[in-house]
Amino acid sequence: MKTISPIAFFRSPLTSKFGVPRQSGVVDELRGVIVLKPEYNRPEAIRGLEDFDFLWLIWGFSAIRSSEKLTVRPPRLGGNIRVGVFASRSPFRPNGLGLSSVRIVRIAPEGIHVAGADLMDGTPIFDIKPYLPSVDSHPSARGGFTDSHAWSLLRVEIPEKYRRLFSETDVRALEAVLKNDPRPSYQQDAGRVYGMPFVGRDIQFRVEDGLLTVVDVV
């Protein structure tokens, strides 16, 4: 079998796996750029892409090692219940490959700008395919354990003195990321201060009674 290698890398304001949305499409406010390698950054490689709204990205978990375990503990189930690895989207897999659907924002010389990605900065991308609503969308399909275990979104409070450190676009993305609770599912310590890198700064926050409060930006 031919060895695969990246055709692009992803640029994101999230520079570590902490804080990355657990699924693509969850945080549409989050923007990123697919930067094609020089040998693929040619007009003919993306000819016709402007006629699509969404893409499938096949990429690699660059910050997580592959795993041979056959069961995992999905965050959606609180991190306490095990299911089969192939019945989950856990990053801990025999082969560290991810699949994400992202929305095309614009196509520019520096790369393909997209929204809603669940990739951290520097993630290698192995292939890009157009999303086809006629065959890729199945609105009536069952969703397994996700049908009965919905995410509980947090309320988010970012003091004005910290908001002023970011652009309006970045503030909206940060709020959306925090609202989806970036903490590991097994860590729910009230009052504990967590840190998350975002656009070159460290966002420090705590969560109590469903309210996430940013307490410092370093």
Per-residue pLDDT at 157: 97
For residue 129, report the phi and psi dihedrals to the nearest 5 degrees.
Answer: -135, 145
Q: Is residue 2 part of a domain?
A: no
**Residue whose C-alpha is closest to residue 181's, from 91, 79, 95:** 79
Residue 66 sits in the same domain as residue 114: yes
Q: Is residue 63 part of a domain?
A: yes
Residue 189 sits in the same domain as residue 89: no
Neighbours of 186 (CB within 10 A): 10
Residue 71 sits in the same domain as residue 94: yes
Distance (Å, whole) CA 154 – CA 169: 20
Per-residue pLDDT at 1: 74
C-alpha to C-alpha distances, 3 to 6, 42, 126, nearest whole angstrom:
10, 23, 11
183 token code pair: 């903490």
205 in Cβ contact with 190 (< 8 Å): no
Residue 87 sits in the same domain as residue 184: no
Residue 121 sits in the same domain as residue 87: yes
Per-residue pLDDT at 195: 94
Domain final residue, candidates 144, 178, 193: 144
Q: Is residue 149 part of a domain?
A: no
Digitized pLDDT (tens) for each residue of the chain, 218 residues in all = 778 999 999 999 999 989 999 899 999 999 999 999 999 999 999 999 999 999 999 999 988 888 888 998 887 887 788 999 999 888 889 999 999 999 999 999 999 999 999 999 999 999 999 999 999 999 999 999 888 777 789 999 999 999 999 999 999 999 999 999 998 877 677 779 999 999 999 999 999 999 999 999 99
Per-residue pLDDT at 94: 92
Counting the structural domains of the chain, the total is 2
Distance (Å, whole) CA 49 – CA 89: 27
Residue 139 sits in the same domain as residue 163: no
11 in Cβ contact with 111 (< 8 Å): yes
Residue 139 sits in the same domain as residue 171: no
Per-residue pLDDT at 24: 94
> For residue 108, what are the domain limits?
8-144
What is the CATH classification number for the domain harbouring 44? 2.40.30.70
Per-residue pLDDT at 75: 79
Residue 92 sits in the same domain as residue 133: yes
Residue 82 sits in the same domain as residue 30: yes
Domain final residue, candidates 122, 144, 166: 144
Residue 138 sits in the same domain as residue 172: no
Residue 162 sits in the same domain as residue 88: no
Residue 23 sits in the same domain as residue 62: yes
Domain final residue, candidates 115, 144, 173: 144
Instruction: For residue 83, count CB atoms less than 10 angstroms from its CB and return exposed for 0-12, middle for 13-18, buried for 19 or more.
Output: middle
DSSP 179: H
Per-residue pLDDT at 148: 79
